């Protein structure tokens, strides 16, 4: 069937948004892998995760994750083939303001959901300048601020909160996660997350955990092969899937930029099942 995608079985696993439509739409219109940023004909932008579509409710939110170059157009019919999941919030590491209060978006959450990290109120201008010197602050409305559950306030630093992207001079760039530092292994990886405006100098150096790889939703190429970085597994170094042939690449990722990656950068991601379709 045109547009069919091999996802570990005889049919796409995406649940249908409406029972009467059924999973057949995935077969007809093509399933996109978890991690893909997609835009329906209606204009709505979603990220796919856990075989669901998660609405990105504002360009302000999207701009913290992507420059839109990797947003893939899909039909409204394909969009209906995915059930609705929770909305998507701001990327961890961002500062937002609402109602006169400034909040920092962490990568802490109840279910390790980096798309909806907790927000922490920065209690004073002193705490803001101490913890996040010169970082940009995005003004948002209450509905966007409320996408993020409020956690413990930030009254000062150290320690830097989880979600901070920082550098140790003459050493490396790290992302703080679960009270550990995770090495952002290269400039290309850093750029894929748009970390640049959010970098600060770290006060301290907690113990080191696993590395950070490319942001989910990116295409990378290494050693003659093209891979799609999903949001499956460890979000910070998620599973990559080989895009098996040029037809699959053109059908599922039309015009999406491909980031050249070294063998080391590519191998930072565990490899999942290939993505392949016969036609589109």
**Percent of the chain scoring above 90 in pLDDT:** 77
What's the mean pLDDT in 128-149? 97
3-state SS of the chain: helix, strand, coil percent to 5?
Answer: 20, 30, 50
CA-CA distances (angstroms) from residue 141 to 48, 57, 85, 99? 25, 12, 22, 8
- Strand, coil or helix: what is 92? coil
Q: For residue 43, give every residue at least 6 positions away whose Cβ sits within 8 Å of its Cβ, in sequence order, or none.
A: none
Domain ranges of the chain: 24-87+215-267, 95-201
72-128, pLDDT tens digit by residue?
999 888 888 888 999 999 999 999 999 999 999 999 987 789 999 999 999 999 999
pLDDT at 207: 87
Phi, psi for 151 (deg, rounded to 5): -115, -165
pLDDT at 67: 94
pTM: 0.89
pLDDT at 279: 73
218-234, pLDDT tens digit by residue?
999 999 999 999 999 99
Nearest to 148 by CA among 197, 214, 93: 93
pLDDT at 69: 95
The per-residue pLDDT of the chain, averaged, comes to 88
More confident residue, 9 or 195: 195
Of 4-18, 131-145, 195-209, which one has max mean pLDDT?
A: 131-145
Q: Which two tokens stand for residue 66?
A: 């992507």
pLDDT at 30: 55
């Amino acid at each position: 069937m045109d547009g069919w995608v091999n996802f570990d079985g005889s049919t796409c696993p995406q649940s249908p948004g409406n029972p009467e439509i059924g999973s057949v739409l995935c077969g007809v219109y093509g399933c996109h892998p978890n991690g893909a940023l997609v835009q329906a004909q209606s204009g709505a932008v979603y990220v796919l995760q856990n075989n669901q579509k998660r609405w990105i409710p504002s360009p302000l939110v999207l701009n913290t994750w992507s420059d839109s170059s990797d947003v893939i157009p899909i039909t409204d019919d394909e969009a209906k083939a995915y059930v609705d999941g929770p909305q998507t919030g701001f990327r961890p590491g961002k500062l937002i303001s609402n109602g006169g209060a400034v909040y920092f978006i962490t990568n802490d959450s109840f279910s390790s959901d980096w798309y909806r990290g907790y927000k922490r109120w920065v209690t004073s201008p002193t705490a803001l300048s101490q913890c996040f010197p010169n970082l940009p602050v995005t003004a948002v409305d209450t509905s966007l601020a409320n996408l993020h559950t409020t956690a413990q306030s930030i009254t000062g630093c150290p320690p830097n909160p989880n979600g901070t992207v920082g550098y140790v001079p003459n050493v490396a760039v790290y992302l703080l996660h679960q009270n550990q530092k995770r090495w952002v292994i290269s400039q290309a990886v850093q750029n894929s997350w748009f970390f640049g405006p959010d970098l600060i100098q770290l006060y301290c150096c907690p113990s080191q955990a696993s590395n950070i790889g490319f942001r989910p939703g990116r295409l990378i190429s290494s050693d003659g092969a093209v891979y799609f970085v999903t949001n499956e597994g460890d979000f910070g170094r998620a599973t990559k899937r080989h895009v098996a042939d040029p037809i699959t690449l053109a059908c599922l990722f039309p015009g999406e930029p491909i980031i050249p990656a070294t063998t080391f950068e590519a191998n930072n991601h565990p490899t999942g099942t290939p993505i392949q379709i016969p036609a589109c």
